[in-house]
Amino acid sequence: MINLIRPYLSPRVYPLLLLGLASGLPLALTGGTLQAWATVEDVPLKEIGFLTLVGAAYTFKFLWAPLIDRYMPPFLGRRRGWMALSQIFLGLAICGMGLLDPSRSLFWLAALATLVAFLSATQDIAFDAYSADVLRHEERAAGAAIRTLGYRVGMIASGGLAIWLAAVWTGWGSMYILMGLLMFGAAVLTWLAPEPEVTGANDAPRTLYDAFTVPFQEFFSRKGALSILALIVLYKLGDAFAGALSTTFLIRGAGFSPEVVGTVNKILAVIATIVGALIGGGIMGKLGLYRSLMLFGLLQALSNLMYTMIALHPQHLPLMALGVGFENLCGGLGTAAFVALLMALCHVQFTASQFALLSALSAVGRVFVAGPLTPPIVEAYGWPLFFVFTFFIALPGLLVLWLMRAEIKGLEKDPSPAVRTSAAD
């Protein structure tokens, strides 16, 4: 037990828990929670489906990530400075969402949600780069797991907990204002976090041209670069489809009230996420990156089938609780391994640009494929068959992973992928 806990006590690892929570907090506020708000206000399903497009910033964040690599704020360093700035503006924008009503001002609410997504993506750029830079090689599995735990707890806090708060206590607008205030506290946590000690962490590209070109030249010069991109896009595609309208499904498709959905997410999802993150870090340390990715990817795909059972047995609370808990457990495992993979692929001088490119590609399926396509598939085939489809949608990513097993295992042997020679050297 001591050996399991010790990696999480490193001063470079445990701060990632709360910083990860701050990173995950805005996502549900422009996704599942916004869906729930629109659903209870009787917004049509197709309009709810297209609300997922407000998250496009997560897909395109690689376009301005080079600016995060190139320029350094006058305080807190190259990574923490950008994190603090984005957190302050996120607090303001999220509070602004609380002043609107989806039944009357859906367009303006969606526009402000798009701004929140942009600021959240900027925070993610800086936080992802900070995580990759601050962790030592031997801390990467624990760091990936603990920041995944924080990220998913942040999503649950702004998802299940936020829905519960809005339904039984604060109302929707006040809840959004409360979540906005939490982002101001995140800036204080960023100020207290340690600076990266890895060589080159604060070495910015020499020119703006270098910032926009060299990171991508370095990445695409690697063997198997296109296969890596395919893996990044496909690995969590089935999970993206299953989660695209999961809140709407539980309320409208399975017949549960927003209070029940929020309560189950608030309790069981948190427990499952904590267990999944801690187990995931331990398993990755023993199995290695490739076998962890394969095992967790299979579990992710299987967890989608639990929603088929929920759809076939509506208003069956124990089954719904089991399905939500299992999905959060498996999703946390898969995300932890996926984040460890992205960390291993980044060069320290261009961490923001390369991590943003890779993580943005992973959002392609969620934003541009799963969101728009889920409503017509559900309307044509129904919820039970839809979730069966999501299981098969997950399989191509696992096939690509298997085909790339030699390359992924090679990353495990590299003691310091973050300092490999780049095209800029």
Helix (H, G, I), strand (E, B) or coil at 192: helix
pLDDT for 107 = 80
Tokens 């076939």 locate to 312
pLDDT for 361 = 78
pTM of the model: 0.69
Domains present along the chain, CATH in parentheses: 1-195 (1.20.1250.20), 206-413 (1.20.1250.20)
Tens of pLDDT along 383-422? 889 999 989 999 998 999 999 888 888 776 654 444 433 3
Q: What angle do CA 40, 45, 47 make, to 5 degrees?
A: 100
Task: Say if residues 155 and 366 touch (Cβ distance below 8 Å).
Answer: no
pLDDT for 177 = 93
Tens of pLDDT along 221-238? 887 788 888 888 888 888
pLDDT for 152 = 78
Question: pLDDT per position in the chain (425 positions), as tens?
Answer: 555 566 666 777 878 888 988 998 998 888 778 878 888 876 766 677 667 677 777 777 878 888 888 888 888 877 889 999 999 999 999 999 988 888 777 788 888 998 999 999 899 889 988 887 887 776 777 787 788 788 878 887 888 788 888 888 888 888 999 999 999 999 998 998 888 775 554 566 777 777 788 888 888 888 778 888 888 888 888 888 887 777 778 888 888 887 788 777 667 777 787 777 777 777 887 788 889 899 999 998 999 898 999 989 888 888 988 988 888 888 878 887 888 888 888 777 677 788 888 877 777 777 677 777 888 888 888 888 999 998 999 999 899 999 988 888 877 665 444 443 333 33
CA max distance for the chain: 60
pLDDT for 4 = 57
pLDDT for 219 = 82
Q: How far apart are CA 425 and CA 419, in angstroms?
A: 11
For the CA atoms of 395, 401, 405, 410, what is the dihedral angle to 10 degrees? -160
Using the CB atoms, write b or e for 382-406: b if 16+ within 10 Å: ebbebbebbbebbebbbebbeebee
pLDDT for 425 = 35
Q: How far apart are CA 348 and CA 415, in angstroms?
A: 14
